[in-house]
């Protein structure tokens, strides 16, 4: 995509583009599979990746899955939750679907206008005797109010599971994002900062969860003659693990490139009335997974900006729009009016293109279109 760097009008700029390791690195890594014929079921590369990710994420325990969604569904199951789970409507479909697929009831708390994470002040009033857990999301890599959330959970004896799909490898004041709550889910989907094509993991502190997580991802089969749990099939295969091991070698450069682009967007767009960027979080080491920008309509509306960019073959995303509590499949049960901040942000938010090999020129061009009256 050389044309893209030069800003040719005919080229397309998508919101994201999967990063690829050098082809030879990947082919070298998978060559062994032609010798071993061991393609899935916790093979050697799977073990290596689990080990490497524990080190990278700074977590004592980590279990890989075929994708982030199965990881989330499985950890909710492994924690033996019941009744209601308090969560945010401002996320990807997976977060709430994982609750519902477990036969649990999602209860939506509104979000903070500063960083779009769940508002701790809106949580406590929603707690009933049926509540068993809180499932917040570190949306766009903005870390939730983890201390306040944990204090509420401790007061009421609730589990906390973070959807950390946007926060791979982040650290807040010297603490790994993987260390918050009872467990955190990471997604390694092709569009994420770190990917295994499709993939995901649960990071956690309590070693005893490992048994259930390993069982749940393999039909509950514990050994040749023991099927202990009603599980599904959530195993990561060796080709995915190989992609992960290769991508992990380059993750630092990947994030550094994204940071440059993110800062350029900030320089170009900050201080303009009607254009709002996420507030900085002191002490946070980011992985720059997304570039969200909110347009409140006083300058241009979100839909106007999206249309202007699209006319120039640039494809941002209205991510997250609609809110989960406005989905067709949940229409009979929930209403977005119950979470007015999330509803408003979902109308204002646009995520701009951000991926490692996007050029600074492309960022400047995108910003020129946005800033052009
Ligand atoms: C990507 C994502 C997921 C789901 O992960 P998959 O690996 O695609 O299954 C869940 N929650 C959020 C917030 C995500 O962005």
Judge if the beta carbon of residue 164 lies within 6 A of ligand 1: no
Q: Are 316 and 306 in contact (CB under 8 A)?
A: yes
Tell me the torsion sign for CA atoms 301, 307, 313, 317: positive
Tokens of 157: 């004896």
By three-state DSSP, how is residue 16 classified? coil
Do strands 226-227 and 221-223 pair parallel, antiparallel, or not at all (unpaired)? antiparallel
Report the pLDDT averaged over residues 152-163: 98
- Give 242-251 pLDDT, tens digit per residue: 999 999 999 9
Q: What's the gap between Cα 333 and its chain centre?
A: 25
pLDDT band at 279 (very low <50, low <70, confident <90, very high): confident
Q: Which of 187, 193, 194, 200 maximizes ligand 1 atoms within 8 Å of its Cβ, making it the mutation to test the pocket?
A: 187
pLDDT tens profile 329-373: 999 999 999 999 999 999 999 999 999 999 999 999 999 999 999
Pocket test for ligand 1, best of 94, 324, 354 (most atoms within 8 A of CB): 94
Instruction: Check residue 30 and give its pLDDT.
Output: 97
Cα(264) to centroid(ligand 1), Å: 26
The mean pLDDT value for 298-323 works out to 97
The pLDDT of 72-88, averaged and rounded, is 98
Q: What is the pTM of this model?
A: 0.96
Q: Quick one: pLDDT band at residue 35, thresholds 50, 70, 90? A: very high
pLDDT at 257 over 50: yes
Distance CA 321, CA 315 (A): 15
Average pLDDT score over residue span 56-77? 98
Determine the distance separating the centroid of ligand 1 and the alpha carbon of 273, expressed in angstroms: 32
Tell me the average pLDDT across 286-300: 97
Does 94 contact ligand 1 (Cβ within 6 A)? yes
> Who contacts 137 (Cβ-Cβ below 8 Å, separation ≥6)?
87, 88, 90, 91, 95, 117, 118, 144, 162, 163, 165, 166
Q: Which residue has tokens 């640039």?
A: 314
Closest C-alpha to 93, from 317, 319, 324, 292: 324
Q: What string of H, E and C letters represents the secondary structure of 259-297?
A: HHHHHHHHHHHCCCCCEEECCCCCCEECCCCCEEEEEEC
**pLDDT band with cut points at 50, 70 and 90 for residue 11:** confident
Q: How confident is the model at residue 3 (pLDDT cuts 50, 70, 90)?
A: very low
Residues of the chain above pLDDT 90, percent: 95
For residue 4, pLDDT beyond 50: no
pLDDT at 181 exceeding the cut of 90: yes
Average pLDDT, the chain: 96
Question: Does pLDDT of 304 surpass 90?
Answer: yes
pLDDT bin (cut points 50, 70, 90) of residue 283 is: very high
What is the predicted pLDDT for the residue at 5? Answer: 42
Sheet architecture: strand order including 131-135: 61-65, 200-204, 183-187, 159-163, 131-135, 84-87, 105-108
- Residue 352 sits at φ, ψ, to 5 deg, of -90, 160
Please say whether the beta carbons of 144 and 111 come within 8 A.
no
User: What is the rounded CA–CA span in Å between residue 145 and residue 217?
Assistant: 31
pLDDT in tens, 91-135: 999 999 999 999 999 999 999 999 999 999 999 999 999 999 999
Q: Is the CB of 68 under 6 A from ligand 1?
A: yes
Check if 95 has its Cβ closer than 6 Å to any atom of ligand 1: yes
Q: What percent of the chain has pLDDT over 70?
A: 97
Does ligand 1 come within 6 angstroms of the Cβ of 137? Answer: yes
């Amino acid at each position: 995509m050389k044309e893209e760097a030069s800003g040719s009008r005919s080229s397309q700029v998508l919101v994201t583009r999967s990063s690829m390791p050098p082809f030879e690195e990947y082919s070298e890594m998978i060559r062994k599979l032609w010798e071993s014929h061991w393609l899935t079921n916790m093979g050697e590369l799977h073990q290596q990746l689990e080990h490497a990710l524990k080190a990278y994420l700074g977590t004592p325990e980590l279990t890989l899955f075929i994708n982030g969604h199965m990881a989330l569904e499985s950890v909710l199951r492994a924690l033996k939750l019941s009744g209601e789970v308090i969560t945010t409507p401002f996320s990807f479909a997976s977060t709430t679907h994982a609750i519902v697929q477990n036969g649990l009831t999602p209860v939506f708390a509104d979000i903070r206008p500063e960083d779009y994470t769940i508002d701790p002040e809106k949580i406590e009033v929603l707690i009933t005797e049926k509540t068993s857990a809180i499932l917040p999301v570190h949306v766009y890599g903005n870390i939730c109010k983890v201390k306040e959330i944990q204090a509420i959970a401790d007061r009421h004896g609730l589990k906390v599971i973070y959807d950390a799909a946007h926060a791979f490898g982040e650290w807040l004041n010297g603490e790994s994002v993987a260390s918050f709550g009872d467990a955190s889910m990471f997604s390694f989907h092709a569009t994420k900062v770190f990917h295994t094509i499709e993939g995901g993991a649960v990071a956690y502190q309590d070693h005893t969860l490992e048994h259930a997580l390993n069982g749940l991802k393999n039909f509950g089969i514990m050994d040749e003659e023991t099927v202990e749990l009603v599980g599904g099939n959530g195993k990561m295969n060796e080709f995915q693990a190989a992609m992960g091991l290769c991508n992990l070698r380059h993750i630092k450069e990947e994030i550094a490139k994204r940071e440059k682009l993110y800062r350029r967007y900030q320089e170009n767009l900050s201080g303009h009335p009607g254009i709002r960027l996420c507030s900085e979080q002191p002490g946070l080491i980011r992985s720059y997974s997304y570039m969200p920008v909110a347009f409140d309509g006083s300058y241009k509306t979100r839909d106007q900006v999206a249309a202007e960019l699209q006319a120039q073959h640039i494809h941002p995303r209205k991510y997250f729009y609609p809110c989960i509590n406005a989905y067709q499949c949940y229409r009979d049960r929930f209403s977005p009016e119950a979470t007015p901040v999330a509803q408003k942000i979902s109308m204002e938010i646009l995520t701009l293109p951000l991926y490692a090999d996007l050029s600074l020129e492309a960022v400047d061009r995108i910003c020129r279109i946005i800033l052009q009256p």
